[in-house]
Chain A
Amino acid sequence: MVQEADLSAFRSKLGSEVEKALHDKKVIRKEDTTYRIISKSVTEYQFIVPFDLPDEQRVEVGQIFSIKDHDEARGRRLTFLARVLDIQHGSNYEGNWDTTMKGTQFFDHEQIFNRVFAGPLGCVNCDGSFRKSRTIPTKFSTVSRAERSEFKFLKQVMGDIEIGYLRNGSRLVEEIPVALHSDTIDHHMGVFATTGMGKSNFMKVFAASCMRLAVRGESKFGLLIVDPHGEYLNGKGSIKGLMHLKRYRDGLACYSTDRKNSQDPGVEELAISESEVRPEDIALLYEWSPPQRDALDAISRIFDGGNWLEEIQSPDGLARMMQEGFKDSTVNVLVRRIKNILEKNKYIQRRSSLANILASLQSGKVVLVDIPRMSDRSELFLLSVISRYIMEEYKKDEHEGRKNCLITIEEAQRVLGAGSNTSRFETIAREGRKFGVGLCAITQQPKLIDKQLLSQFNTLVVMGLGDRNDRIQLEESAKQDLSTLDIEIQTLEKGEAIVSTLKIPFPVPARIHRFEDYLRRLEKEDADDALISRGGFRPFLE
């Protein structure tokens, strides 16, 4: 039993506690019932908002909210940033009354709400540094739309290759340019979108930023673009090309198979020497029967590497092939096709541009190889010749100041598909990194790209993808979790993207600059002004 003395001490303590709390009261008002965190885990936050908001206050997938978990007295000062992944109807009645409309109407509209599911981006602590969040906001922390000042934390994680602005739902945050990191680029990169969603536009913006870095002496890699559609050099109509970026023109080296284009003094006529073509390049150009394939494979054994194209066309060449046991009909097909190739591809000459191309790449420039009206197979053939050359050169010892290289492949599913016969690109994909050669694969159908290869891509630019299988393929192989963004990826509009890259701790929602607008801005910017830190300029004509 408690002793008398102890009891009275306890009673006096209790008495003062009671006295102190006598007039305490807590008032809950309408504004307290929504915009608060109510669930749920480190990877998903849930909060509720009124179900009947006016249009300008509606919550959208992709919008960024800030969660202020501030309580000075208890030493809490974190601000969490999260983006909306999904919105659902909800109520405190859990459906009990929603469908049985007895009575005349619901009285308690704040008991009915929309439940917002949000994915964490990271948190900002009191010293203003932004990092990935390993914790969860305190329950009932208040939630509000992120303000401009809160976005600036995201600036800390951006890189040097500007590609667009941060997107908050469908709104732009112009203060925050989205920029990739140069040093992650030798790791491969992928650009995915259904047709017309803005892949080519993205590549031009990307290339423009690279040209700018090259001119400023800040480039860390050379970018090779082989363009079979003739859209990058001069554009078409109102669509501009890379040549229009006069200010950073020195960061670009152009080669063209087109007579007219190469009359421009800044464009060199593309040439590949016969000695740079290998049988396996020829292999890409046609379907071959098994005996024809065998014959092709034997060529490098039978002839001298540098001169085989000429030798095999001579009567002597035919004889040597037959000596090796190949039928004359087989060899004749081979020879006829080779003649045809040389006939059609006038750029195969004595002279070669490859050494120059390589030098430009190694000095960190953008190299554009313009091959308009070239057939699909011819393009692959050329790409194969160039990239083999680059790969072989990069395998040699690195010389002082050599920059890495990124090789762009359009319609990459042709060469990086499961079971494609173009092992060249797969080799680059698998071992290029060791030598500083990366791939930038552009495709409309990521589902056709070999999954293992895809998982080696460290930078993904995902634009609108309607096909579920395409999205699943990406979500399953991405380094960052994209599956929670599935709804957003489905609803991306032209020019909108989710950018997932190693150095940025979360997949970034971006609106890629329209190339023409970006051009105008680049032409105007102050020479010394770092582009990234600028804000306020509106390149978009709404």
Chain B
Amino acid sequence: MWDFGRLSIVAELIRDHIYLESIDEYCEKTGVRKKDFVPIEAQDFGGEIFAVDGSNAAVCNWSVANLNLIRAGFAVYRGREWQRTTITYDDVFLADPRICEDLFDPCLKAFFGLKGIDLKESDLDRLSTYFRELQEYIALNEAIIEARSGDIILYDGGFDVFEPLRSVLAVIFKRAEDKDVDLLAVSKSSTLFWGEGLTLPFLQHTSYAGSLFVPGVPWYLDLKDKRVEHGQGRWNGETYIARFAGSSERAFRVDAPSYVRDRIGSALGKLVAHSCSSECLGYPHALFRAHEDVRISGQECDLLRLRLMEMLGDMGMSEPHVRMLMQDFHDVLDMRQQI
């Protein structure tokens, strides 16, 4: 057996740096002050909230191409009443650089009036991620079309995106502004860090600071001019940290295009009024529902894999042959029954 030497070093590290005893250093290093935490007042809201989400699950992985199931869509709420869920894409995606443009280009052209984007250098995993994001943007676009002036459109994720798709977001921002809707991206996970030596989790520490400075109320914090890397300048908007319910411990990263900046308090106020459900306290409920409705279950992937096997069988391929092609050797090692 090994001893726990290295484990205890990690434990020490966590205690000394990640677990904050005082927030002085955090404040000093990041420039965050007590007055930066702006309490949010819940606001009545008669319009609709659209929440866009996507989901991506691997059906099978070959070394030369991956087959994924991708789904994107949005849930629509008026107040606390779910209105509908629209699924805009629900199909497989074959990640192969040679056919990528056949899948991306028609969408880019039809929905955003853009010419193709260059994906030749991307690896296979990236390809399906891009495609999923593209489908989420198409869902966003559809939501903007269906929305009326004053409505809120939420996106599950962030707007600080990979280069190839930034041009798509720019079109979306413009359309959202023209339609006069509040477009906000809410991230469940965030890659914000502070500190020079060790990278420390900014979101969690900000959340902690918030509960000390403005306990028991929802609040938001504007990251403009704060010393934390959040992709500022790479896209046309601002990043905020927000807590949507006073009694919740969690805070979220919120990205908003720059045209929302001067009404961000009221936009977040409307969200606060709809982040108090029993199903998911402290998180905008529409996003919770979108996540539930769009999520791809393991069962669905299994079914699809079986169906594919069947089709191959119908086309005259023998099962051992298919198995040889489709089975991932990890699954063999782990003794998982994959196909």
A binds B: yes
Seen from chain A, the residues whose Cβ lies within 8 Å of a Cβ on chain B are 7, 10-11, 14-15, 18-19, 21-30, 92-93, 97, 100-108, 110-111
Set of chain B residues within 8 Å of A11, measured between Cβ atoms = 99, 102
Chain A to chain B contacts (Cβ below 8 Å), 19 pairs? A18-B102, A18-B106, A19-B106, A22-B107, A25-B86, A27-B85, A28-B84, A28-B87, A28-B293, A102-B281, A103-B280, A105-B277, A106-B277, A106-B278, A107-B77, A107-B81, A107-B279, A108-B277, A108-B279
A388 to B222, CA, bound (A): 101
Residues of chain B lying within 8 A (CB to CB) of residue A101: 278
Query: Inside 8 A of B98's CB, which chain A residues have their CB?
Result: 7
The 8 Å CB contact of A108, one of B82, B90, B91, B107, is B82
Known contacts A15-B102, A25-B88, A105-B278; 15 further A-B pairs (Cβ under 8 A): A7-B99, A14-B99, A14-B102, A18-B107, A19-B106, A24-B88, A29-B84, A30-B82, A92-B292, A97-B278, A102-B281, A107-B274, A107-B277, A107-B289, A111-B279
Q: B184 contacts the other chain (Cβ, under 8 Å)? A: no
Q: Does B260 contact A (CB under 8 A)?
A: no
A39 to chain B, nearest CB (A): 14
Residue B80 at the chain A interface, CB threshold 8 Å: yes
Whether the Cβ atoms of A28 and B85 lie closer than 8 Å is yes
Distance of B321 from chain A, by nearest CB (Å): 17
Asked if B279 and A103 make an inter-chain contact with CB atoms under 8 angstroms apart, the answer reads yes
- Contact of A103 with B278 in the complex, beta carbons under 8 Å: yes
Question: Could you tell me the distance between the alpha carbons of A106 and B279 in the complex, rounded to whole angstroms?
Answer: 6
Q: Does B291 contact A (CB under 8 A)?
A: no
- Across the interface, name the chain B residue whose C-beta is closest to A102: B281
Are A21 and B279 closer than 8 Å at their CB atoms? no
CA gap between A29 and B78 in the complex, in Å: 13
Q: Which residues of chain B (256-305) have a CB below 8 Å from chain A?
A: 274, 276-281, 285, 289, 292-293
Which chain A residues lie closer than 8 Å to B177 at the CB level? none
| B279 engages A93 (CB within 8 Å) | yes
- Within the complex, the shortest CB–CB distance from B67 to chain A, in Å, comes to 13
Known contacts A25-B88, A28-B85, A30-B82: A103-B281 contact under CB 8 Å: yes
Cross-chain contact of A110 among B80, B82, B281 (Cβ < 8 A):
B82
B103 and A14 contacting across the interface, CB-CB below 8 Å: yes
How long is the Cα–Cα vector from A22 to B134 in the complex, in angstroms?
13
A-contact bits for B58-101, CB 8 A (1 contact / 0 none): 00000000000000010001001111111110110000001100
* Interchain CB contact under 8 A, A108 and B289: yes
Q: How many angstroms from the CA of A363 to the CA of B285 in the assembled complex?
A: 77
B142 contacts the other chain (Cβ, under 8 Å)? yes
Q: Which residues from A are CB-within-8-Å of B332?
A: none
Assembled-state Cα–Cα distance A10/B102 (Å):
10
Q: Is B110 at the interface (CB under 8 A from chain A)?
A: yes
Q: Contacts A11-B102, A22-B110: A97 and B85 contacting too (C-beta < 8 A)?
A: no
Known contacts A97-B278, A102-B278, A103-B279; A25/B103 CB under 8 A: no
B102 touches A104 (CB 8 A): no
B73 to chain A minimum Cβ distance, whole angstroms, is: 8
Task: Write the nearest CB–CB distance from A165 to chain B, whole angstroms.
Answer: 41
The 8 Å CB contact of B84, one of A21, A27, A93, is A27
B293 to chain A, nearest CB (A): 7
Contact between B88 and A105, CB atoms less than 8 A apart: no
